[in-house]
Amino acid sequence: MISNPIAFYIFVWLAGCCIFSVYLLSILKLNHTIMRIPDITIAVDGYSSTGKSTLARLIAQHFDFLYLDSGAMYRGVTLFAQEQGLIAPDNTIDPALEAALEGLDLHFAPGTILHMGERNIEKEIRTMEVSSQVSPIAAVPYVRAWVDRRLHDFAASGRVVMDGRDIGTTVFPNAEIKIFMTARPEVRAQRRFDELVSKGESPVFEEVMKNLQERDYIDSHRETSPLRRAEDAFVLDNSEMGFTDEIAWAEGLIRGKFGLLDAPDAIA
Ligand code: DC
């Protein structure tokens, strides 16, 4: 015990200095890392509900990147087609959609919140109604070309992390870092189910699983730009991982790429 009050104050002061120095050093180390990372593109592709957007957001926050969600763009086009009556319940798409797209304004507000004109459509594009028709819409070549043009415009400057299905293979084949995410189907379906419940929906687990499998199938088998792993992508199976493990993995990958740390042994 420290009985002398002066010694006690000196002790508290020294302890405070130590804690503050450790805090300062960790900030400086992170800033140093951020400053040494050049303007690059990181592509995060993978199956539905593997947590691509969560990882991409974490990377964006952690390393000061702009985050772009390409799936949101396909969802936005789907909502638009539904509202304009250009897609039937049997997924038949009216060819008038191609011309109609020229008048469509989809863009991200800060925080990667998708807007259709002035309208925030972030909630509407995540419903089962949109999920059930987005893959047929995303398989249409002129829709893909339209979305790709927008993505390139949005990513014109700076460091960008973008998630989707074909970012590392088609949209940004020269992306400096490519990540391909996967997880067991039942884990993915549970995540999606929980997400829908947290948003106030009442999903049926079997339907969520069916929708997931259907989307995986359509996304992987379409003619234009199918979902597949780029040969130079690092594979991340996060079935048993939490957010902290994932960001540590990504940090290792990014630092390793720029010689800031040993690269993880991640290519499958
Ligand atoms: O990531 P997500 O579930 O929000 O994507 C919605 C749909 O959009 C998905 O079923 C496939 C499609 N998509 C695509 O074809 N290409 C991309 N780059 C991103 C998404």
The one-digit pLDDT tens for each residue of the chain (268 residues) are: 566 778 778 888 888 876 776 666 665 555 555 656 778 899 999 999 999 999 999 999 988 899 999 999 999 999 999 999 999 999 999 999 999 999 999 999 999 999 999 999 999 999 989 999 999 999 999 999 999 999 999 998 788 999 999 999 999 999 999 999 999 999 999 999 998 899 888 999 999 999 999 989 988 998 989 999 999 999 999 999 988 999 999 988 988 887 654 444 443 3
Is the distance from CB of 59 to CB of 181 less than 8 angstroms? Answer: no
The Å distance, Cα 135 to ligand 1 centre, comes to 7
Closest-CA residue, ligand 1 atom 1, reads 71
Counting atoms of ligand 1 from 1, which one is nearest the CA of 53? 1
Counting atoms of ligand 1 from 1, which one is nearest the CA of 52? 1
The Å distance, Cα 48 to ligand 1 centre, comes to 8
The Å distance, Cα 15 to ligand 1 centre, comes to 51
Domain residue spans of the chain = 1-36, 40-257
Q: Which CATH architecture has domain 40-257?
A: 3-Layer(aba) Sandwich (3.40)
Pocket, ligand 1, Cβ cutoff 6 A = 48, 70-71, 74-75, 134-135, 138, 164-167, 215, 219
